[in-house]
Amino acid sequence: MTGRRLHSLHTISVGRISMIVQPRGIVVTAICAAILLIAAGAALMLGEPTIPLSRAYDVITGGGAVGDRVIMLDLRANRTIVAALAGTALGLAGALMQTVTRNPLASPDILGITGGASVGAVTVIVANGGPAVAPWTIPLGALAGGAAIAAVIALTSAGLDPLRLVLSGIALSALCSAGVTFLLSYVDGDVAHTAMSWLAGTLNGRGPQHIWPLVIGLTVAVCVLAPLVRHIGLLPLGVARAATMGVDTARTERILLFTSVVLASLATAATGPIGFVAFVAPQIVRSIVRSPAPPLVGSALVGGIIVVVADTVARAAIPWSTPIGAVTSVFGAPLLIYYMWRSTRV
């Protein structure tokens, strides 16, 4: 960490919780929060049909025509909320994993955790007969699958350099994809259609049953992370130096990794696998703030922005039905290639 960065950091205490903050980071976080609100408002208005701002304002303030209320509040509001919450969970999960691994290439989807969550969720869908599956069981299956892959990574990744860790994650993702294909090859058409619709990464038909697991997961994550904010801020200094400043690095990293897996799995359960959000969001904020590690709140907000904007583009700007995961991959894949290329040049 450079001298300039050291001087730009400040410590803020709220009760028993102390945190290291960067003024630039606070400004960027406030801007990201405003952009997320604007993107969510635009998502409620844009589509077929598009609702003008004046009529949208009437609906938001409790009035408006019945048709406008149905479109905005019944058809678009739930999917926009799910998009914002899932993106927030993915952005935060990516920031936590990159902080733990000290690897800008690490994220739940690239390391295979999202693939494991997909296997778990599809297993639940297949076991419960496809359309008849209870929505609350899918997050449990996704969490079990994601945790299994995380355990494999924890047991096998010691000593791997960043590029090899990513390649191992890609191999695990391929293995999970093969597992999903195997599961779907033995089921009837209705079950396969339900699973494939979910695997495409879609927000169609999302409702409160998809919102609450994300709300609960994010709330628990905030409660778990809040007392550790100062410790998280010291991790970029290195294990030895952080330990001399009173940080139990092993315990802190275990908590961060577990929280990342839970958030990524819940987001995957709600929307299906959406690639590259957990990887891209922390890198965008980190490059803007110029911080040694991805800022957690900013990464979460940027993740929400990416998913809300991607869903709006897939729904309103593309004339044919496009999975939201395809939109995020168009922007995320080139960035991954760039970072992998840069890591080989260092």
**pLDDT tens-digit map of 115-156:** 898 899 888 888 877 666 777 788 888 888 988 888 887 777
pLDDT in tens, 223-260: 999 888 888 877 777 777 878 877 788 888 888 888 99
Mean per-residue pLDDT, 90-112: 86
- Specify the pLDDT at position 245: 78
Domains, the chain, in order of start with CATH, read: 3-345 (1.10.3470.10)
Whether residue 205 is predicted with pLDDT greater than 60 in this model: the reply is yes
SS3 state of residue 42: helix
In this prediction, residue 1 has a pLDDT band, given cuts at 50, 70 and 90, of very low
- pLDDT tens per residue, range 3-28: 444 445 555 555 555 555 667 778 88
pLDDT of residue 273 exceeding 60, the answer is yes
Long-range CB contacts (< 8 A, 24+ apart) of 212-217?
A: 213/136, 213/139, 213/266, 213/269, 213/270, 214/82, 214/85, 214/86, 214/89, 214/266, 214/267, 214/270, 215/85, 217/89, 217/262, 217/263, 217/266
Tell me, what's the pLDDT at 299?
93
Residue 343 banded pLDDT, cuts 50, 70, 90? low
pLDDT at 112: 87
* Closest to 226 measured CA to CA, from 193, 255, 197, 192: 255
Q: What is the mean pLDDT of residues 218-227?
A: 92
Specify the range with the lowest mean pLDDT, choosing from 37-46, 69-78, 135-144.
Answer: 135-144
Query: What integer is the mean pLDDT of 73-83?
Result: 91
Q: Work out the percent of the chain whose per-residue pLDDT is above 90.
A: 22
| pLDDT given for residue 306 in this prediction | 93
Mean pLDDT for all residues in the chain: 82
Mean pLDDT, rounded, for 331-340: 75
Question: DSSP for 115-160?
Answer: HHHHHHHHHHHHHTTGGG--TTHHHHHHHHHHHHHHHHHHHH-TT-
What pLDDT score does 191 carry?
82
Q: Please check the confidence at residue 212 and state whether its pLDDT lies above 80.
A: yes
CA gap 38, 211 in Å, rounded: 20
Which 3 state secondary structure label does DSSP give 49? coil
Q: What is the pLDDT of residue 5?
A: 47
Give the per-residue pLDDT at 7. Answer: 42
Segment holding 56, helix H or strand E: helix 53-60
pLDDT of residue 85: 96
Mean pLDDT of 57-64: 86
Beta bridge partners of 18: 13
